[in-house]
Structure 1
């Protein structure tokens, strides 16, 4: 067991996380957890022992700091990643796609922020159903559930496809975009297969519905689907096994997972850490969890915002680069 942060949490191995989740799940003991993208480790902490400086919000529970007045004027500018570096990574991804190693890969890069906002400002003010703040480390304000469980029914809401809402005829263009349609269908199929490993009766009640999200730079439209299935009796005592069986999240890795993750490690020139991992809360009976996207992280150079998008053989480097930049936003006005 290794120290994780100065916030009083520990980074456990994968097997230690699974054992703790299984034991506490079976006991009906509420806990908070977070798992990095590589799913090789994670932290799990009882709900009554969450350290000072760690805050979270999910539909089941909210423990967020109070918002304080923002600086005047607010400064928020992003320095995009180097386009040539992005193109090298994009070319690496395309070589894997052409070889058939993957047919959808989520490529991510960091953008350095010039801002007078703090991590606590981002977390406290963001309008988002899933939030996690480890003060001094990172703030995540994710719109995307990983899996939820209510009454033994597991649901996932894969999110793929975005467009600025002010684009003429935006909703129709998003729904009819061939690249976006294929990308979304691939992820839904992947999630169906994932849930079928742990659930029975897996089906898709809603496919590719459109939602609007307000951001500091205007509204965007995004497409999501709902995939659900029934967990077996006693799932709480196997909660760790169930969750880790589903990792990493398909919407932020790609398909097929094993070979796609290998390609991601080759293409991306850094470790993702908790970005695109998952975090969540078990209240003793039900579960909420989220994909850790919309992620601001402290670094030696200041705050960075991590973003990305799905790449297929139909993708264009300039268009994907612009999409990556468009995703550097905060869901609150200033």
Structure 2
């Protein structure tokens, strides 16, 4: 599958005003699209669900991450590329073997997340419980909500600390600028409606504060027939790549040493009137030997600290229930 074919397929469904579900891998190599009324039972999703869990108990996840030395090597490579002016922000990710007492089906049923997906076919078997929307389209307006910056809510003055952190401010500002430009490719009257507000996220044994922004733009009245063009023009998502996007993707492909596959791709639903979608972060896959792997990452800038970024990579491996 390639980007052009994906664009054409989504445009076709949109032109027919047919409610459908779709999923696209990070590199466009995998794509699935089906009418909502024909979706198989092995595909379950929940879009924009209302979070209602108040549980704070610790959920068992044993982690086997890459070593700090290995991570530092990748981190240092990216810092050199920043000094050369080739990139300013990168979302460096890694694949971590984990052990849990839960199946992927149980995880899907138990997790408390705004966007959930359980996907299984002959080649792929994963669950995603993402807090991050990609784009939403309603009444000819398109919205995106970049998320960058996370802190444990128990930290003293956590909200003031994360909003006042210079490194976090720079990282978030760069992502907002990138996504504003991405929206500008497909919409008019693009504006930042809300800059750096706080979302609360359940992370199993802790509550996290996540910094988000809201950006909007105006679409044409017949946006449905161009839905595929709109979506693929903005992929991969800026929040999980970096800036400048094209060069940063090249650098990440070179240094990450594993295949992101569906992780950091997107899934979405068109219901016949509006469209909503999510970036596939907080992601666990299972291989043919029933071994589970969690993929996670975080943003790197010139002000980043390797130790803190490595800790963040590991802290993002959790089950929110």
- Asked if 2 retains the 8 angstrom alpha-carbon contact of 1:128 and 1:331, the reply is yes
1:313 equivalent to 2:302? Answer yes
Deviates most, 246-255 or 42-51? 42-51
1:32 equivalent to 2:21? Answer yes
Structure 1: state its 5+ residue gaps: 1-11, 62-72
SS at match of 2:318: coil
Question: Deviating runs (4+, > 2 A) in structure 1?
Answer: 12-16, 73-76
- Asked if 1 retains the 8 angstrom alpha-carbon contact of 2:49 and 2:115, the reply is no
Q: Cα RMSD between the aligned structures?
A: 1.7
How far off its partner does 1:52 sit? 2.4
Instruction: State the partner residue of 1:64.
Output: none
Q: Scaled by the length of structure 1, what TM-score is found? A: 0.89
Instruction: State the partner residue of 2:202.
Output: 214
1:273 equivalent to 2:261? Answer yes
Instruction: State the partner residue of 2:46.
Output: 57
Per the alignment, do residues 75 and 40 of structure 1 end up closer, same or farther by CA in structure 2, a change over 3 Å counting? closer
> Number of residues paired by the alignment?
310
- Asked if 2 retains the 8 angstrom alpha-carbon contact of 1:132 and 1:139, the reply is yes
How far off its partner does 1:164 sit? 0.7
CA distance in 1: counterparts of 2:59 and 2:163, whole angstroms:
35
CA distance in 2: counterparts of 1:53 and 1:301, whole angstroms:
17
Instruction: State the partner residue of 1:193.
Output: 181
CA distance in 1: counterparts of 2:126 and 2:211, whole angstroms:
26
1:100 equivalent to 2:85? Answer yes
Deviates most, 36-45 or 247-256? 36-45
- Asked if 2 retains the 8 angstrom alpha-carbon contact of 1:90 and 1:267, the reply is no
Instruction: State the partner residue of 2:132.
Output: 144
Instruction: State the partner residue of 1:45.
Output: 34
- Asked if 2 retains the 8 angstrom alpha-carbon contact of 1:74 and 1:116, the reply is no
How far off its partner does 1:148 sit? 0.3
CA distance in 1: counterparts of 2:250 and 2:212, whole angstroms:
26
How far off its partner does 1:40 sit? 4.4
Query: Aligned to 2:66, which of 67, 81, 88?
Result: 81
Instruction: State the partner residue of 1:164.
Output: 152
Structure 2: state its 5+ residue gaps: 51-57
CA distance in 2: counterparts of 1:74 and 1:24, whole angstroms:
40
Instruction: State the partner residue of 1:122.
Output: 107
Instruction: State the partner residue of 2:245.
Output: 257
How far off its partner does 1:60 sit? 8.7
CA distance in 2: counterparts of 1:32 and 1:319, whole angstroms:
38
CA distance in 2: counterparts of 1:281 and 1:84, whole angstroms:
41
Instruction: State the partner residue of 1:204.
Output: 192
Instruction: State the partner residue of 1:14.
Output: 3
Instruction: State the partner residue of 1:65.
Output: none
Deviates most, 297-306 or 271-280? 297-306
